[in-house]
Amino acid sequence: MKQVAIVMGSVSDWPTMQASATILNELQIPFSKHVISAHRMPAQLQDFGQQAVTRGIDIIIAGAGGAAHLPGMLAANTVRPVIGVPIESHALHGLDSLLSIVQMPAGVPVATMAIGVAGAKNAALQAASMLALQDDQLQQRLLDYRAAQTQKAIESEAQLD
């Protein structure tokens, strides 16, 4: 099975990024968790990105707030796909994070999700879709997950009574 790394700039990002971990657990995708600050740990960030392949990491989900350099800097140091999750900030409610992540220069792509928990969930689902390209069992688990979502939505109509 493939490996996903969840990386965040600060432990304060965990309440958002935990949503990625929950989905990955549900889909039985192995992952690791890391705190690597782009601003306070630049050498560790570079090392992590450059060694992602040898560490068996296939996809990096990177959550960052504020200036949000983490996803882009990781992408600059690895050929592995990086999925950025903008963390909601206090000053600009995550818009600063979103723009910092999504505005990467040509040649250094970062797939960028929505701000906050929805983005963290979708990052895990995007990683699962990418890994499922070569894993039929994971593809089936992803199909089952989507079928369960559909069923919950159908059943939710009863709450309107």
Domains, the chain, in order of start with CATH, read: 2-157 (3.40.50.1970)
Q: What confidence score (pLDDT) does residue 158 get? A: 86
**Which letter does DSSP use for residue 39 in this model?**
T
156 is in an annotated binding site: no
80 is in an annotated binding site: no
Q: What confidence score (pLDDT) does residue 2 get? A: 63
Question: In sequence order, what are the beta bridge partners of 99?
Answer: none
pLDDT tens string for the chain (161 positions)? 469 999 999 999 999 999 999 999 999 999 999 999 999 999 999 999 999 999 999 999 999 998 889 999 999 999 999 999 999 988 899 999 999 999 988 999 999 999 999 999 999 999 999 999 999 999 999 999 999 999 999 999 888 87
Q: What is the pTM of this model?
A: 0.95
Q: What confidence score (pLDDT) does residue 1 get? A: 47
Q: What confidence score (pLDDT) does residue 46 get? A: 97
96 is in an annotated binding site: no
> Which of these, 25, 44, 26, lies nearest to 35 by C-alpha position?
44
